[in-house]
Amino acid sequence: MVDTTSYDNAVLANNTNLVWYKDAGIRKTVLFSCICFVAQVTAGFDEATAGSFQAMKPWQEHLGYPSPSRIGLITSMLYAGGVVGALIGAPIADTWGRRVVMFTGASTCLLGSILQSCSVNVGMFIVSRALIGAGVTQSLIGGPSLVAEIAHPRIRGSILSFYNVLWYAGSIVASWICFGSGHLNNNWSWRTASVAQVVPSLFVMIMIWVVPESPRFLMTKGRREEAHAILAMYHANGDRDDALVLFELSEIDAAVELDAHHSKQSYVNLLKGRENRKRMFVVAMVAVFVVFSGQVIITYYFVPILNSVGITGTDQQTGINGGMQIWNFLVAALGAFLVGRLGARVLWLASFIGMVIANIPLIITSAVYNQNGSLGAAYVSIVCLFLYNAAFNIGCNPLPYSYTTEILPYSMRAKGLCVFNVLCWVFSVCTNYVNPIGLANIGWKYYIVYLGLDLIFIVAIYFTFPETKGQTLEELDRLFDKTRTADLIEGIESEKGFEKKSSSPVINEMKDDNSSQ
């Protein structure tokens, strides 16, 4: 992890070790973040089982050998439930706190997992999928916000980028559980994984209360002393007079006061003002680009793709899928590690350029196999799938939640993440219903659609996505709203302990940016 903020420890003295893992306070914030990350383990676990179940004959028999359109419906119900969960999660997060919405999300996932384990017909299975989706999106609103708001600013960008990486931890475990249970010739081949899915949700329900509440949330509720104590404990090892802690407190104070003067945020307010529309445009584009990148075909329809190139054995399919998940995890972790070093724009561009490069030989080899049944072409296609996933995961895994969380100010964060999740999941309902039908009807030609979209996305990213590297959460406002930033600086300077001519490079840099406009 690297320093991803613009403050200078030599100016803003901070009672922490510069090496994060040697500092007790920062280590605790990393531990708290890991507890939040477990919510994403549930999401990854669930989505991996959706693909693996399709390779199991007992599951196929139990659900009456579902058609491609029925499989699309089963898959899409996760996202339909997710839309409802997102709309419920945002007001919970803003009213009762980030921890509460994490708890309600985990509870809903737990209920869905139990129902899925006990499903006796396709209707129960579909309802269980919707419940799991509703729980996952509640956690996706609370988790990234809480991690961003309790993390030490020196490691915030890096640690937040690992949030989505843990999706693959769940995916790996689920894939290999399915590999083992897939040898059973009864319904426990798929019920085993459904029962195991209860574990991460139960863990979050219990352990989330160990995590401190967001200082920013506490400040909006008038609980300034509690916020001060949390910042001091975990950002300065208990030193309430630490320069960084006082600066953070003043920064949050000024931002909260400014938000209170402007207006209480509603969903309509998200689009009021040019600066807010710019933020939400970028948030919407992230949702569009990630969902329509084409990687979702590999995630959910890996089995039909393997069937289309002649790899039909259950052991072969579940084994390759398990290996794919480990590969995905390693590449996604590398991407999260690189965010603080290369910046978000570089990784966004690298991700989509890489998918274009992988898509072209995938189209060619799939076409060759379709024409003459070449075994060599089939295996090259599998390699291309691994490369496609690598390109996706280097940027599109670590960035969506870290990037959107960073560009949204506190007053917009929960509702903005709600909109982001709703968009992602509405788009996913559409793509997951259409994808199996497209693959069944036109086969490899369907990949060409995503090739064209990825080329368009590269151009859009280059011209519209700002860089967030090297800035605090409140400083990121200046990327979209110069006037708000000037007001924020004035608010910080008026706080006790900060002179008008502050020596903080954070404040001076913000001043220079505004004066140059």
Whether 192 contacts 177, CB under 8 Å: yes
pLDDT at 1: 41
pLDDT in tens, 15-35: 898 888 899 999 999 999 999
Closest residue by Cα to residue 135 from 212, 71, 40: 40
Query: Does the structure show a pLDDT above 80 at 231?
Result: yes
Q: How confident is the model at residue 510 (pLDDT cuts 50, 70, 90)?
A: very low
Query: Does the structure show a pLDDT above 60 at 149?
Result: yes
Query: Does the structure show a pLDDT above 80 at 346?
Result: yes
Closest residue by Cα to residue 491 from 476, 479, 503, 502: 502
pLDDT at 299: 62
- What is the Cα–Cα distance from 28 to 479, expressed in whole angstroms? 31
pLDDT at 265: 60
Query: Does the structure show a pLDDT above 90 at 131?
Result: yes
Max Cα distance, the chain (Å): 77
225 Cβ contact list (under 8 Å, min separation 6): none
pLDDT at 188: 92
Query: Does the structure show a pLDDT above 90 at 443?
Result: no
Query: Does the structure show a pLDDT above 50 at 3?
Result: no
pLDDT at 260: 66
Query: Does the structure show a pLDDT above 90 at 414?
Result: no
pLDDT in tens, 64-118: 888 877 887 887 788 889 889 988 998 999 899 999 999 999 999 999 999 999 9
Q: Residue 199: how many CB atoms within 10 A of its CB?
A: 16
Q: Give pTM, 2 decimals.
A: 0.77
| Weakest-pLDDT range from 240-249, 254-263, 351-360, 448-457 | 254-263
Q: Residue 337: how many CB atoms within 10 A of its CB?
A: 17
pLDDT at 301: 58
pLDDT at 351: 97
Whether 229 contacts 134, CB under 8 Å: no
Tell me the chain's radius of gyration from C-alpha atoms: 23
Share of the chain above pLDDT 70, in %: 85
Is the pLDDT higher at 311 or at 398?
Answer: 398
pLDDT at 442: 83
Whether 335 contacts 395, CB under 8 Å: yes
Query: Does the structure show a pLDDT above 60 at 403?
Result: yes
Q: What's the mean per-residue pLDDT of the chain?
A: 83
Among 135-149, 245-259, 268-282, 466-480, the range with the most confident prediction by mean pLDDT is 135-149
Share of the chain above pLDDT 90, in %: 42
Q: Residue 128: how many CB atoms within 10 A of its CB?
A: 24
The label of the residue with tokens 């477990």 reads 38
pLDDT at 308: 67
Q: How confident is the model at residue 280 (pLDDT cuts 50, 70, 90)?
A: very high
Q: How confident is the model at residue 5 (pLDDT cuts 50, 70, 90)?
A: very low
Query: Does the structure show a pLDDT above 90 at 139?
Result: yes
Closest residue by Cα to residue 48 from 143, 169, 186, 199: 169
Q: How confident is the model at residue 245 (pLDDT cuts 50, 70, 90)?
A: very high
pLDDT in tens, 155-198: 887 888 898 888 889 988 988 898 888 888 899 999 999 999 99
Residue 381 Cα distances to 163, 292, 332, 359, 390, angstroms: 30, 20, 21, 10, 14
pLDDT in tens, 467-482: 887 666 656 666 776 6
pLDDT at 454: 96
Average pLDDT of 211-226? 94
pLDDT at 322: 75
